[in-house]
């Protein structure tokens, strides 16, 4: 069995093996397989075509390898594969800080949650107080960064270049915000509640680079559903997700979910700090959509992103395009869906890039603010290239649109998601 074909192959192989062992460094590395080739180090000026951002895997305390956007302050994206289940593991849950003085160590013997400002009786509560003096409640809720999927924007905008992984779902357990406020007795004249945690930045006092502070309107109905959470999926919060407690604001973007929550203040004047007055603002238009030209012309009125809930979204997790499918072999197309406006009532799948739609099967219902898994059995019979697509509908009748959105902050992306797959022949 010594034909020339084989011999050439043999020589190539031998060279390859030797080169792999570092013995023949001048032999060009041969085949590029999937694992030997890295994604590019950046995408643009076109949209990022990948599900996640293109950033490398890195390890952080209490975390599995996640995708590093920035290392100081810390921003980490959750890889796609962790969205196969309705609840995102704590160790894979995304991380988004704005400032770089992030607690490495917290002493619960001196840490206190302070409820202050325009209240009858300011409170200073220890973790022990939170655990014993108030009734624990739980909610399943999606925590999604306002800028999730920002790397899809055209033209691209500055900011965290997230793919789809700046989101996660957890069961949050803790104390009802309203129970704390009732004990403190919020006085008339209160217009907003302000939240601040232990993280800080080195910038000058009074600037956004010094402290990250957010406020919610006192008349916002979401306050009735807010939780000061000390448990996440049944465990203490990882430090990078806000240990010892964080605010949970079901249906709203993460920017209000204050980590390391330590101060709750009843305000008599609207909060005009940078993170309310300048950052995290969206055009006061349908979907928060506008154009670079209208922004440049100064025509666009903006409102805080807390004025809206998270728009309905759905994601294809499998198949992910990393391998070919086989004609005649059934495959489960699956993923998650959610809406800040309530229960996901329908998920539809398209096998032709969005021309025709079929209803997918919904997974268990974990409450209006949770991820809902969905699945669709598909048996591709013809080899070829297919573009899968998914769209969700919520109980208010909101359907995911196929038009992109644009605003200068890179917020509110919820366009229909697509996944290209290749089906090979079985014969």
Partner 1 sequence: MKRYHWMLLVLLGVWVMAQDSSLPGLKETGNYTQGSLGQVLQPLPVTNAQPDGVYSVGAWPLYTPELADGPGKELVMGYCQVCHSTTYITMQPPLPAATWDAEVQKMIKTYGAQIPDDAAKQITAYLQAHYTPETRKQ
Write out the residues near ligand HEC by the rule CB under 6 A. 73, 98, 158-159, 201, 203, 208-209
Which of 347, 335, 399, 340 has its CA nearest to residue 373? 335
Q: How far is the CB of 18 from partner 1 (least distance, A)?
A: 7
Binding to partner 1 (CB under 8 A): which residues in 210-269?
A: 210, 239, 243-244
Q: Which is nearer to partner 1, 82 or 371 (CB)?
A: 82
**Residue 61 touches which member of ligand HEC, partner 1, none, C-beta under 5-8 Å by kind:** partner 1
Place of tokens 């998270």: 310
CA nearest neighbour of 118 among 215, 261, 220: 215
Structure token digits, residue 280? 């995290």
The reply to whether 427 sits near partner 1 by the rule CB under 8 A is no
Taking Cα atoms as reference points, which of 400, 413, 419 lies closest to residue 335? Answer: 419
Alpha-carbon gap, residue 99 to 84, rounded angstroms: 31
Q: Shortest distance, CB of residue 42 to ligand HEC, whole angstroms?
A: 13
**Among the listed residues 35, 132, 381, 382, the single contact to partner 1 using CB under 8 A:** 35
Residue 149 CB, shortest distance to partner 1, in Å, is 13
Contact between 61 and partner 1 (CB under 8 A)? yes
DSSP 187: P
Q: Residue 176 forms beta bridges with which residues?
A: 227
Cβ neighbours for 158, distance < 8 A, ≥ 6 positions apart: none
CB-wise, 36 or 158, nearer to ligand HEC?
Answer: 158
Question: Pick from 400, 143, 110: which is nearest to 262 by CA?
Answer: 110
By CB under 8 A, residue 68 contacts partner 1: yes
52 close to 79: Cβ distance less than 8 angstroms: yes
Among 8, 30, 85, 425, binds partner 1 (CB under 8 A): 30
Site for partner 1 in 144-163 (CB under 8 A): 151, 156, 158, 160-161
Tell me which of ligand HEC, partner 1, none is bound by residue 258, counting a contact when its beta carbon lies within the kind-specific cut-off of 5 to 8 angstroms. Answer: none
Under DSSP, is residue 186 helix (H, G, I), strand (E, B) or coil?
A: strand
The answer to whether 358 contacts partner 1 (rule: CB under 8 A) is no
Q: Does position 403 bind partner 1 by CB under 8 A?
A: no
């Amino acid at each position: 069995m010594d034909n020339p074909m084989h011999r050439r192959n043999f020589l190539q192989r031998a060279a390859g093996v030797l080169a792999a062992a570092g013995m023949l460094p001048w032999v060009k590395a041969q085949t590029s397989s999937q694992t030997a080739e890295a994604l590019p180090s950046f995408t643009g000026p076109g949209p990022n075509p990948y599900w996640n951002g293109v950033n490398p895997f890195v390890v952080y305390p209490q975390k599995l390898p996640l995708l590093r956007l920035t290392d100081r302050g810390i921003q980490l994206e959750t890889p796609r594969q962790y969205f196969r289940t309705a609840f995102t593991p704590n160790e894979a849950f995304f991380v988004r800080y704005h400032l770089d003085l992030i607690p490495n160590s917290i002493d619960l013997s001196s840490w206190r949650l302070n409820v202050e400002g325009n209240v009858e009786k300011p409170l200073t509560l220890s973790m022990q107080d939170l655990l014993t003096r108030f009734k624990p409640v739980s909610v399943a809720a999606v925590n999604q960064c306002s800028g999730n999927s920002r790397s899809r924007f055209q033209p691209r905008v500055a900011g965290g270049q997230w793919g789809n992984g700046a989101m996660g779902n957890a069961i949050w357990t803790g104390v009802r915000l309203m129970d704390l406020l009732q004990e403190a007795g919020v006085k008339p004249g209160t217009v907003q509640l302000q939240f601040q945690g232990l993280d800080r930045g080195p910038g000058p006092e009074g600037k956004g680079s010094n402290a990250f502070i957010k406020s919610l309107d006192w008349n916002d109905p979401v306050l009735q559903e807010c939780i000061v959470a000390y448990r996440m999926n049944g465990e203490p919060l990882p430090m990078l997700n806000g240990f010892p407690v964080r605010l949970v604001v079901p249906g709203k973007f993460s920017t209000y979910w204050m980590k390391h929550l330590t101060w709750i203040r009843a305000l008599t004047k609207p909060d005009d700090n940078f993170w309310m007055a300048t950052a995290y603002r969206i055009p006061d238009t349908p979907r928060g959509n506008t154009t670079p030209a209208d922004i440049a012309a100064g025509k666009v009125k903006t409102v805080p992103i807390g004025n809206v809930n998270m728009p309905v979204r759905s994601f294809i997790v499998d198949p992910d395009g990393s391998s070919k499918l086989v004609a005649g072999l059934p495959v489960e197309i699956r993923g998650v869906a959610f809406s800040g406006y309530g229960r996901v009532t329908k998920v539809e799948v398209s096998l032709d890039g969005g021309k025709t739609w079929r209803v997918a099967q919904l997974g268990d219902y974990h409450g209006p603010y949770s991820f809902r898994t969905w699945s669709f059995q598909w048996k591709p019979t013809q080899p070829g290239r297919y573009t899968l697509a998914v769209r969700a509908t919520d109980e208010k009748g909101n359907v995911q649109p196929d038009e992109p959105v644009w605003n200068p902050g890179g917020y509110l992306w919820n366009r229909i998601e697509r996944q290209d797959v290749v089906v090979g022949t079985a014969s």
